[in-house]
Structure 1
């Protein structure tokens, strides 16, 4: 992926969220409802993270041009260094309000992108045009906080962006008013797909604003069929289950968690992180000679990597390993430390001792 970079984990993906800001409620001063005009709409934007930021940037451009937006303010839900919306708003003179709020008067429409809070009916009804949300999936597939991660883990070949009306009491169930589909590349990671969908979300939002107010009344109810859910993830989702996961499953898990969590297994009862997981292009002949046993590792000296057996006799390669409390080491260093000149030794990841029927080995093989 090429270039080293600092990646801030989007809090909305995780099974916890930062502490909300303690602020006074924001009260608008007027209840006058504006009508559509050549100068655009009065917009109140709700968002927090990098995904939301792309839409806010597009809205700010529209505000400066006075085309679809003639007034723009923003609402954020928590404090923290990773609150990209707050930082951008402060840098560009956009007025910020802090959640929770009692009312949102003097605005035509509320736009919600990666906000992470249920919005009560009284807030939704305070906007003449209601509220709409930009969601990073093809609803009703992947309702929830982490649609990009779940799409990649599941091996989806397509995804997209949905713009829907905000409904009270439940997330991601409102009528769909706009939607666009894209193909997912076989090797695309969470970071790459997140960036692509964020940009698409901004484009689709601008297209939707240009069709107001008519598009609001053209919403289509979500089908009750094919509904799937994308809840916030927990750290233990990164643990590889070798007997249950094919090579593609393991690779997809790494793609989904890139920039969030490294993949994990265990070695001698301690946690081990593995890096640089790839699908095997060509399996060495030695691997075919062994019985199927998900978790075994063969050191491929020609490639300088570890080959790890997965479910259904499929294999992945691993480039680097980090033992508990230690820095990363290459697959070659791991081989030199645990296998070189020890042809009768069998090591195991994930079990305390080796099975009785595998106490001798002639190759550099270990078990996860």
Structure 2
């Protein structure tokens, strides 16, 4: 039996709908996608409130996604927000307005659930032959880390090291980044990592397959000479730490508009890609990783796989979206 599921991921930069057919024994089969830039990161004030313009872009995107899902006759639409909305001071008011204007009840995952679901996606992409997996995922508001030898991680954690969050808080002029601000940002990232990755480092992570699953890592890999997107998802893509130092210098010397002209760097992430590169470099250093393999599957695919494996009557899912029955 095939079930058609729509997953709507509301992040700090974009709302991304993926519709796929799920059949036992097969990977999710893509049906349609929709991506709309909502730029929530730039709409967040210093006190954590998402402003009117950002809310309007978000509600418009949710309405459009719901229409697309309806036209494709999905059996279920799973809409969820990640850290930008989850951590917003006016989160509940935003979710209430979305439901009132679109009829869609958007929930949110907690950060550890995001890490576990992304790990599930990485495990299915690389398979059991990868052995233990160490996963890193840099988002707009947070970075998730996970480690494990099974289908789900033994350890999962989330750190406030999202590329958008760090750009807002530590790079006061993203157009022309001063060296002193880069230095302070690096020191902050290293301090957060030092306080939080001890339990992770206690595992034998040196024997793990190091995996990165995010647009930030993927764009950095392309910037550092990796294959183009048109080469397809099955081409091996890696990011080597030895290349990141030069990439950081290249990004820091350019304005966001100029960065968007570089290989792999999208206009939507051009402002925050420098902070993302600093986080990637500091994380690889803290975990003693020379290279990470880029995984094209991430949180959306993790939800699709979890729904497939835990359909009604077949066990409890790995997660529960706040406001939705598990």
The two structures have a TM-score, normalised by structure 2, of 0.27
Name which one, 1 or 2, has greater alpha-carbon Rg: 1
Greater fraction helix: 2
The two structures have a TM-score, normalised by structure 1, of 0.25
